[in-house]
Amino acid sequence: MKFNKIFEAFPPPKFLNIPFAGLSISDSAIHCIQFGKKDGRIYIEKYAEVELSPGTIVSGEMHDKEKVLNIWKTLKKDLGFEHVKISLPEEKVYIFTAKIPIVKPEEVLSAVESKMEESVPVSQSELLFDYVVVDHRDKGHLDVVVTALPISVIDMYVGMAETAGLSLLALGIESQAITRALLPKGSRGTSLLVHFGKEKVGLYVESDRLVRFTSTILLQRGPIPNPDFLSQEVKKLYTYWHTLKENLDKPEKKITQIIVVGENIPEWVILTLSNQSGTPIVLGNVWTNAFDVNLFTPAIPFPDSLRYGPAVGLALPSDTLI
């Protein structure tokens, strides 16, 4: 079933300039941020971080919906927001790129549906999906980047938002929300985004600001990741990505930078991953598309801001992308 634009699933009428918050949910915390606008520039108007007790959410599975609902209701009351865009768990998402023949716009949907069975191990009747067409007419085909989620997951989040009294404007994929926050509008090339959680690490490959591949790694030996283990996982990803048939002999598909965000980021990660991969690596600036940190000092300190990547990507108004 086609899900018209997952990232903007429930868009308000275009003539309404509705203030809204970005609400991201992980296994360990809920982050919320809302931007305001003054003199043509945006600023941080409201924000909050609420830690979750262990077991509330595990690997994207909601084990204690009531607790999460109560947090949403409290945030709504304390911060005074109503309209939201909410992140969806990366573990529930299927992302793949398919080549399809050059067809008319109205025929793209059926062409994508014909590729679903070979790429997603779930019946189409149980999925909602969206896609972005990347034009390669000069090469005799179209590339389609497809994102699919179980209908049950969508229904759960929609129902929870309604129960909490929140007006849901959109549902966003965590990896794409982070990409939206970190990569400037119009940026070209390919990057690896490393998103640290308390007990897992998300590895997201984006190309031209569009997520093409994701992998979630459970950390070994407790919440402090083993350098060798993580380096090996990144090496595997590099090998996989750079040897894909569609990426061979394409300089623009080579990963040219690694951007790190998240929580509990170990001190060794920058040096170790840079040495192992031979790729420049930096800590992410989640305000890239919001404001210039050289001209405006955000209320959220830089180390804390690294945890707000998905929420910021969700909260950014489209017309503020710089």
CATH number of the domain that residue 255 is part of = 3.30.420.40
The single-letter DSSP state of residue 293 is: T
Average pLDDT on 283-304 reads 95
Tokens 């940190």 label which residue? Answer: 293
Q: In what side-by-side order are the strands of the sheet with 167-173?
A: 41-51, 29-38, 21-25, 83-88, 167-173
Task: Judge if 170 and 223 occupy the same domain.
Answer: yes
Instruction: Examine the pLDDT at 2 and tell me if it is beyond 80.
Output: no
pLDDT band at 317 (very low <50, low <70, confident <90, very high): confident
Count structural domains, the chain: 2
Question: What domain range is 114 assigned to?
Answer: 94-150
Average pLDDT on 199-203 reads 92
CB-count burial class (<10 Å; 0-12, 13-18, 19+) for 84: buried
**Structural domain includes residue 206:** yes
Average pLDDT on 188-197 reads 95
Given 109, 125, 150, which residue is the final one in a domain?
150
Q: Could you tell me which residue, 127 or 5, shows the higher pLDDT?
A: 127
**Structural domain includes residue 219:** yes
Task: Judge if 177 and 260 occupy the same domain.
Answer: yes
Mean pLDDT, all residues of the chain: 89
**Structural domain includes residue 1:** no
Task: Judge if 118 and 260 occupy the same domain.
Answer: no
What pLDDT is recorded for position 49? 98
Contacts of 246 by beta carbon, 8 Å cutoff, 6+ apart: 97, 99, 143, 253
Instruction: Examine the pLDDT at 223 and tell me if it is beyond 80.
Output: no
Residue pLDDT, tens place only, 10-30: 444 553 578 999 999 999 999
Instruction: Examine the pLDDT at 4 and tell me if it is beyond 60.
Output: no
**Structural domain includes residue 35:** yes
What pLDDT is recorded for position 221? 54
**Structural domain includes residue 268:** yes
Task: Judge if 43 and 56 occupy the same domain.
Answer: yes
Query: Which range is most confident: 134-143, 159-168, 218-227?
Result: 159-168
Given 106, 121, 150, which residue is the final one in a domain?
150
What pLDDT is recorded for position 31? 98
Task: Judge if 228 and 316 occupy the same domain.
Answer: yes
Average pLDDT on 178-200 reads 94
To the nearest whole percent, how much of the chain has pLDDT over 70? 91
* Residue type at 308 in one-letter notation: Y
Q: Could you write out the DSSP letters of every residue in 231-256?
A: HHHHHHHHHHHHHSGGGTT-GGGSEE
pLDDT band at 3 (very low <50, low <70, confident <90, very high): low
To the nearest whole percent, how much of the chain has pLDDT over 90? 68
CATH number for the domain spanning 144: value is 3.30.1490.300
Instruction: Examine the pLDDT at 228 and tell me if it is beyond 90.
Output: no
Task: Judge if 135 and 276 occupy the same domain.
Answer: no
Task: Judge if 116 and 204 occupy the same domain.
Answer: no
Task: Judge if 167 and 230 occupy the same domain.
Answer: yes
Task: Judge if 51 and 161 occupy the same domain.
Answer: yes
Task: Judge if 59 and 189 occupy the same domain.
Answer: yes
**Structural domain includes residue 41:** yes
**Structural domain includes residue 200:** yes
Task: Judge if 66 and 173 occupy the same domain.
Answer: yes
**Rounded distance between C-alpha atoms, residue 282 and residue 269, angstroms:** 10
pLDDT band at 78 (very low <50, low <70, confident <90, very high): very high
Given 103, 128, 150, which residue is the final one in a domain?
150
**Structural domain includes residue 51:** yes
What pLDDT is recorded for position 170? 93
Instruction: Examine the pLDDT at 7 and tell me if it is beyond 50.
Output: no
Task: Judge if 156 and 186 occupy the same domain.
Answer: yes
Residue 298 · residue 287 · CB < 8 Å: yes
Instruction: Examine the pLDDT at 269 and tell me if it is beyond 50.
Output: yes
